[in-house]
Structure 1
Amino acid sequence: MAVGLALSRTFKFIWTALLAAVARLDKSFSPSDTINRLQQHTFTLSDSIYVFHLALATFWITIMQSPGFPLKLMIPILYTIALLIPFTCQFFIPATPVFAWLLTFYTSRFIPDEYRPTPSVILLPTLESVLYGANISDILTRWTHPLLDILAWIPYGVVHFTFPFVVAAFFWLFRPKQVLNQWARIFGYLNLVGVLIQILVPCAPPWYEVIYGLTPANYSVKGSAAGLARIDKLFHSNGYTVTFSNSPVVFGAFPSLHSANATITALFLSHFFPHTTKFVWAYASVLYWATMYLTHHYLIDVVGGSCLAVFFFHVLLPDELKGPLATAYPPNLNPINGGRSKYEIYDLEEPRPHTRGGRTGNGAIMRDAADYGLEDISDRESDEEELDITFRSPVVPGIPGSAAPTTKQGPQSAVKKSHRHTASIASLIRAEERAEDGWSPIGSSFKLPPVPTRADREV
């Protein structure tokens, strides 16, 4: 029962967040709106990064052979149309670094071999032995098992390709818009720089050493699925074998973008959703091991990718997202206790409202006041209703006549802890006049009833 209620609340909150996220979208399809915003935009030095993107895209599209001319011109045409439409522009501008990374990764295969650096075969194994005293990847792959293959395959071959979209969806639903924009921006630049390093400093992965030894490499070598080939064999398929044999970056061992993506994901989620910290870092740790167990990367590749991710996270993340805004909800989604009352939080039965003098009981009123920020109802009731305080708070022998002695406890303050009679502030009003009647609580005695009363004297 409790589990079903918790699930119902969770789905209700997700549905509310989805409606709020859709409401935040720019639903305009008029290019004139984008043009007007562009005319009103004040350009700064940071906008010059788009000049770099334009030059990089022009270079890759120029050398692109598949699709050929003029079909490849559809790429910049469609992208320009997406930027002109406000509805699609709000997604495509933040994702520009991601598209630049994908374009670079795909088109790098068309770079002529004479312009490519010679792949290094011994650099990474040598650094591995010098820094760590052994080839850690080789040690981890000496004993394999189908269960370990599956444990390595899930984060490396499945979660790695889907997790960035799940993280983006969470940011879109539960965090301000700038968080999603920074996720796309930093994630894209991290992978773009990583691929450029792999192109400029090509290094053979561990599977090359296993298959070919330390013989010099060239770009005619096809990629290998390595340990993922055992997954193809286990499921009687060839998906990973075909995919990795057609990889455009065969000698992209350093840095490991698998470890870089896992690290940047763990950094973002632990920063913006602190309660997920131990889970995302557990996932990242398993993926670090999987990259070496499947003979796709050396330990130095994993360390290099993680260091690159830490650098991009701390350098590119704006300062305003490092404070309280990191855990803030979007402007139109501000749940208080997840939309639950205090009775639901502590699994208590909510008291039924009762009437008193034609008025609803304070139980429901106080809850409504707390939920909606109304003023204290009890204060208003005390103002509206005058209570009879004639016979309240008598002066009992042995009790101080004023509040002053109670500030410093001494031998004379022999007051029982169970005594609950306190002097009402209202009874102190016009104390001198009431003292003449013989019943003032700040006097030295108390007579019940006062004789003679003020009414008797007036008669």
Structure 2
Amino acid sequence: MPIRISSLPRPLATVLTAFVAAVGRLDKSLSPSDTIARLRQYTFTLSDSIYILHITLAAFWITLMQFPPFPFKLVIPILYAIFLLIPLTSQFFLPAIPVASWILTFYTSRFIPESWRPSISVSLLPTLETVLYGANVSDILTRFTHPVLDIIAWLPYGLIHFVFPFVVAAFLWLFRPKQALHLWARTFGYMNLIGVIIQILLPCAAPWYELIYGLTPANYSMPGSAGGLGRIDALFGSHGYETTFSNSPVVFGAFPSLHAGCATIEALFISHFFPSMTKYIWVYAGVLYWATMYLTHHYLIDVVSGACLATACFYFFLPDEFRGPLATAPPTTPGRRSKYDVYDLEEPRSRGAEVDDFELSSASDEEMDITYRSPLPGQQQQQKPSEQGKKSHRHTASIASLIRAEERVEDGWSPIIGSFAFPPGSPAASREREDSRV
């Protein structure tokens, strides 16, 4: 027996309804010829030159890539090109090009020859920490540990961090215009790409290195460490985090903290596109900031720099149209216009709107709003100063012509009576008076 959506709990029914609608908005074509036809009709602009950078960057990293070996590594660009040609998949993989560039850069950085790499800084971050904040804040936060605190730190840092970007993308896809999802992929991808490039060009040791090796010089042959996450491995009797971090492609990538950057960019997107969730998402971000230092993976300056990088990327890529009511508008179905577009109405704001914002006004003498037309000929009501210059309403309700009909005869309006009344002084009115005399 099929399950009715209306019988489900309201949150689940809302998500399921939005999912069905989102799937209906997808381009389900599997023909590459459709994509080629769109490319022929597309007008390229200067901003499209960014794809040349992505192609160049991908070619560089694939050349350096040692695993998988040649020619198997060529499968990566071939598959991605196929996904871009198929309309069904291209609508996801095209906006995700910055994300793909970041993942490729992060993974392949392990194959950079050591002769190309800059020297590793061990004392830069703790020195800046002390100079800027008066103490080594991250060291203070790690002096007291407890299994409960370990779990609280592990959840956002070692678990939710890797899942939450997909959650944000899913909610933007379901409940906001598709441009919001494209903005998320672009901003999230470029922020992480910039962060990884900084980590490669300015390698710095994390607090766990200072706890293990002190301030002795580091080299690229040293394995990474799980830091405080090692206590989570011991708690669950596993070696997952120790294995993962010891084989990390960027062992000395403490600055900036991309954990803090991701939490910040997620909080900015959620608070901007879903304002009702603002306080909850920033609580999550605050807990993750603390977790990065408690687990000895970042200094406070790393957290601050990651948050600043995310904020700069968010406001740099945020277009003007998403700075207004469109940020909280529901998605639109292609080929289907809203009632505001159909009737040429200005869409009202959901909150903070005043009555004056929706009053009708006149833009010209040829297009006079009936609301401000005087019942007496030759007289018109004076408009308020706040109403001048507003967008005119081209569609007036016909029912307005029936209001106070008897009082509008002098202006040429017919009352709701059995006979038709002519305006005084008109030839038709004179003939009617003569006929009545006869």
TM-score with structure 2 setting the length: 0.75
CA offsets per residue over residues 154-211 of structure 1, 9 Å max, x none? Answer: 0000000000001111001000000001001100000000000000000000000000
- The equivalent of 1:107 in structure 2 is 108
SS of equivalent to 2:221: coil
Letter in 1 for 2:321: E
In structure 2, distance between residues paired with 1:39 and 1:335: 30
CA offsets per residue over residues 214-254 of structure 1, 9 Å max, x none? Answer: 00110011000000000000000010000000000000000
- The equivalent of 1:252 in structure 2 is 253
- The equivalent of 1:38 in structure 2 is 39
Residue 323 of structure 2 corresponds to residue 322 of structure 1: yes
Shift of 1:428: 9.8
- The equivalent of 1:207 in structure 2 is 208
In structure 1, distance between residues paired with 2:408 and 2:113: 97
CA offsets per residue over residues 307-331 of structure 1, 9 Å max, x none? Answer: 0000000011111111110000011
- The equivalent of 2:152 in structure 1 is 151
Residue 174 of structure 2 corresponds to residue 173 of structure 1: yes
Letter in 1 for 2:327: A
Shift of 1:427: 11
Residue 287 of structure 2 corresponds to residue 292 of structure 1: no
Distance 1:263 1:426, change over 3 A: closer
Letter in 1 for 2:274: F
In structure 2, distance between residues paired with 1:231 and 1:155: 13
In structure 1, distance between residues paired with 2:10 and 2:308: 40
CA offsets per residue over residues 95-127 of structure 1, 9 Å max, x none? Answer: 000000000000000000010000100000000
Displacement over 4 Å in runs of 4+: 333-336, 425-430
In structure 2, distance between residues paired with 1:335 and 1:232: 53
In structure 1, distance between residues paired with 2:147 and 2:74: 46
In structure 2, distance between residues paired with 1:201 and 1:70: 32
Distance 1:22 1:429, change over 3 A: closer
Letter in 2 for 1:109: R
Letter in 2 for 1:219: Y
- The equivalent of 1:311 in structure 2 is 312
Distance 1:157 1:334, change over 3 A: farther
Equivalent residues in 2 for 1:112-151, closer than 5 Å:
112-151=113-152
- The equivalent of 2:225 in structure 1 is 224
Letter in 2 for 1:296: H
RMSD of the TM alignment (CA)? 2.1
Distance 1:426 1:116, change over 3 A: closer
In structure 2, distance between residues paired with 1:9 and 1:293: 39
Larger radius of gyration: 1
In structure 2, distance between residues paired with 1:429 and 1:159: 69
In structure 2, distance between residues paired with 1:272 and 1:6: 28
TM-score with structure 1 setting the length: 0.72
In structure 2, distance between residues paired with 1:263 and 1:26: 32
Shift of 1:14: 1.7
Equivalent residues in 2 for 1:185-204, closer than 5 Å:
185-204=186-205
Letter in 2 for 1:123: L
Equivalent residues in 2 for 1:233-248, closer than 5 Å:
233-248=234-249
CA offsets per residue over residues 27-75 of structure 1, 9 Å max, x none? Answer: 0000000000001110001000000000000000001000010000101
In structure 1, distance between residues paired with 2:70 and 2:129: 45
In structure 1, distance between residues paired with 2:314 and 2:407: 64
- The equivalent of 2:345 in structure 1 is none
Residue 106 of structure 2 corresponds to residue 98 of structure 1: no
Letter in 1 for 2:157: Y
Equivalent residues in 2 for 1:337-348, closer than 5 Å:
none
Percent of matched pairs sharing the same residue? 70
CA offsets per residue over residues 393-446 of structure 1, 9 Å max, x none? Answer: xxxxxxxxxxxxxxxxxxxxxxxxxxxxxxxx899999xxxxxxxxxxxxxxxx
Letter in 2 for 1:177: K
In structure 2, distance between residues paired with 1:43 and 1:235: 54
In structure 1, distance between residues paired with 2:16 and 2:107: 37
Letter in 2 for 1:165: F
Letter in 2 for 1:192: L
- The equivalent of 1:74 in structure 2 is 75
Shift of 1:335: 12
In structure 2, distance between residues paired with 1:428 and 1:296: 80
Letter in 2 for 1:108: S
Shift of 1:9: 2.5
Unaligned runs of 5+ in 2: 1-5, 340-403, 410-438
- The equivalent of 1:15 in structure 2 is 16
Letter in 1 for 2:126: P
